[in-house]
Amino acid sequence: MPLEYRFRARPYDEALKSALQAFPQKAAYELVPASEALGRRIAEDIQAPFDMPRKNIAFYDGYAVRYEDTRGATASNPVKLLLVGSVLKDGEEIGLRVGRGEAVYLATSSPLPEGADAIVREEFTLRQGDYVLIKKEVELYEDVILRGEDARKGDVLISRGSVIRPQDQVLLLEIGLTRVKVYREPTIGIASVGDELLERFEKGIPYPDNYFFLVSSTLQLIGCKTVSIGILRDDPDEIVGFISKNISHYDALALIGGTARGVRDYTGMSVEKIGEVIFHATTLSPGKVSGVCKVDGKPVFLVPGHIGSATSCICNIIMPIISKIYYDGIGLLPKVLAKLTMPIEARPGLYTFRTVILEWGNDGLRATPHLKRLGGSTLITILSKAGGYILIPPGVKLSSGEIVEVTLLNPLEVFSWKLS
């Protein structure tokens, strides 16, 4: 069968730029309970709605006093103050006042009554009927958190684009935000292409398309929902029909396999019949036969079937496009700085995707490029040992000892770090 579809390897930078220009930003948002926002990307700057804390508050359970009244107090020579009130657990009693020679019992986080300017912790005191013995001298504002000490009204507490962590949930609830605006996660429909996959499926082999999980799980970890929507034959009509039928149900489609120059690689030429091939084949190594198409205004990603190429396509093509459209261009994968342990350079004329092993040493984080199959690999264990990657533009040589920006292959990599 003649190969009708024409390849032209467009320079990666230009190809990616075209693809980014082809899709306008259209991030969507949803309001979710702060309690369920863990791990989501926040879509708004969160500002302090008031000074935090709003008033001077007690840092410990103890007695609110005038610090001058405690002068000279010791365990053996305590100062005796009149107890004029008591506020338990974060409470406030309006009208309470601490005058000279007086004290009020406060639970942690309760606002200081008027007149009080220090807290004597409970362990340095002894109750005696209506009085309390103070056994320690305290300073002005000792164990007091001052109004606005934590944040001033209007300060940005959480920046747009941040991933919400446990402490951010607490912060949101503390300022009364029980619901928070987060980016809606786009849903990507993923299909694998290949007669041999279908044969495996028909033989009852579970998971005939292993690389599905590489694409699917990685996209899940950076904020996408993914759906497995089938295995397609190497048949242009079937591919065209499949895309036409599914494109309206998903925010984007990804087709794994069938993108190369082989005699049965049809995805690119198929998409051409129903949409626009923005590029297919680019100066990215591995990942050269990646492609980006536009059908009904949505991206259809052509993902090569090699594991190294597929990874490169996910990191260097799919992610920036997903980020532009659905995440306002936020970087979706974590980055680190690391010292290269050996020189590496780009392959001639190619943006070269190199996976690296990351190891912590006393000189910091070290990045060691994989020796085998430099530039890309079908070797699955290499990807398993990899922690991150570097994309080296053509003509660029990196020296041993140079500090380079390494992008983690996924956020779970952080769990695999071992300190030497």
For the beta carbon of residue 104, count every other beta carbon within 10 angstroms.
24
Q: Which listed range, 13-21, 218-226, 245-253, 316-324, lies at the site for a copy of itself (CB under 8 A)?
A: 218-226
Site for a copy of itself contains 226 (CB under 8 A):
no
Identify residues 282-321 at the interface with a copy of itself (CB under 8 A): 305-307, 311
260's enclosing H/E stretch is none
Question: According to the binding rule CB under 8 A, does residue 70 interact with a copy of itself?
Answer: no
**338-367: contacts with a copy of itself (CB under 8 A):** 339, 360-365
The residues, ordered by sequence, that sit 6+ positions from 166 with a Cβ below 8 Å of its Cβ are 38
DSSP code of residue 275: S
Taking the least distance from each CB to a copy of itself, the nearer of 298 and 306 is 306
- Shortest reach from residue 243's CB to a copy of itself, in Å: 21
- 150 belongs to the binding site for a copy of itself (CB under 8 A): yes
Closer CB to a copy of itself, 29 or 360, in the complex: 360
Cα 319 from chain centre = 13
* Smaller CB separation from a copy of itself, 21 or 35: 35
Burial of residue 386 (CB within 10 Å: 0-12, 13-18, 19+) is buried
Q: Give the span between the Cα atoms of 266 and 273, in whole angstroms.
A: 11
**Judged by CB under 8 A, which of 78, 194, 268, 299 binds a copy of itself?**
194
Q: How far, CA to CA in Å, does 3 sit from each of 228, 261, 262, 288, 304?
A: 29, 8, 8, 18, 18
Per CB under 8 A, 167 contacts a copy of itself: yes
Which residues, in sequence order, are bridge partners of residue 138? none
In whole angstroms, how close is the CB of 166 to a copy of itself at the nearest point? 4
Angstrom distance (rounded) from CA 302 to CA 280: 8
Report the residue from 44, 51, 149, 345 that binds a copy of itself according to the rule CB under 8 A. Answer: 149
- Which residue number, 157 or 346, has a Cβ lying nearer to a copy of itself? 157
Q: Hey, which residues does 29 pair with through a beta bridge?
A: 183
- Using the contact rule CB under 8 A, the part of the chain among 132-140, 145-153, 248-256, 341-349 near a copy of itself is 145-153
Q: How far apart are CA 339 and CA 402, in angstroms?
A: 5
Instruction: Please report, for residues 60, 87, 120, 226, the alpha-carbon distance to residue 80 in angstroms, rounded to integers and kept in the order given.
Output: 20, 20, 13, 68
Q: Does residue 196 belong to the site contacting a copy of itself (CB under 8 A)?
A: yes
| Cα–Cα distance, 320 to 332 (Å, whole number) | 8
> What is the nearest approach in angstroms of a copy of itself to the Cβ of residue 61?
4
List the x/- string, 28-47, binding to a copy of itself by CB under 8 A: ------xx--xx--------
Nearer to a copy of itself, 23 or 327 (CB): 327
Is residue 83 part of the contact set for a copy of itself (CB under 8 A)? Answer: no
What is the per-residue binding string for a copy of itself in 257-276, x denoting contact by CB under 8 A?
---xxxxx------------
Distance (Å, whole) CA 219 – CA 240: 24
Query: Of 77-85, 235-243, 256-264, 266-274, which segment contacts a copy of itself by CB under 8 A?
Result: 256-264
- With respect to a copy of itself, which residue has the nearer C-beta, 163 or 247? 163
Query: Angle at CA 154, nearest 5°, toward 153 and 159?
Result: 130
Nearest approach in angstroms of CB 303 to a copy of itself is 13
8 Å CB contact between 344 and 273: no
Residue in the block written with tokens 């920006």: 405
By the rule CB under 8 A, 98 interacts with a copy of itself = no
Query: Which residue from 166, 203, 248, 371 is in contact with a copy of itself, where contact means CB under 8 A?
Result: 166
Q: How far is the CB of 165 from a copy of itself (least distance, A)?
A: 5
Q: Are strands 298-303 and 252-256 parallel, antiparallel or unpaired?
A: parallel
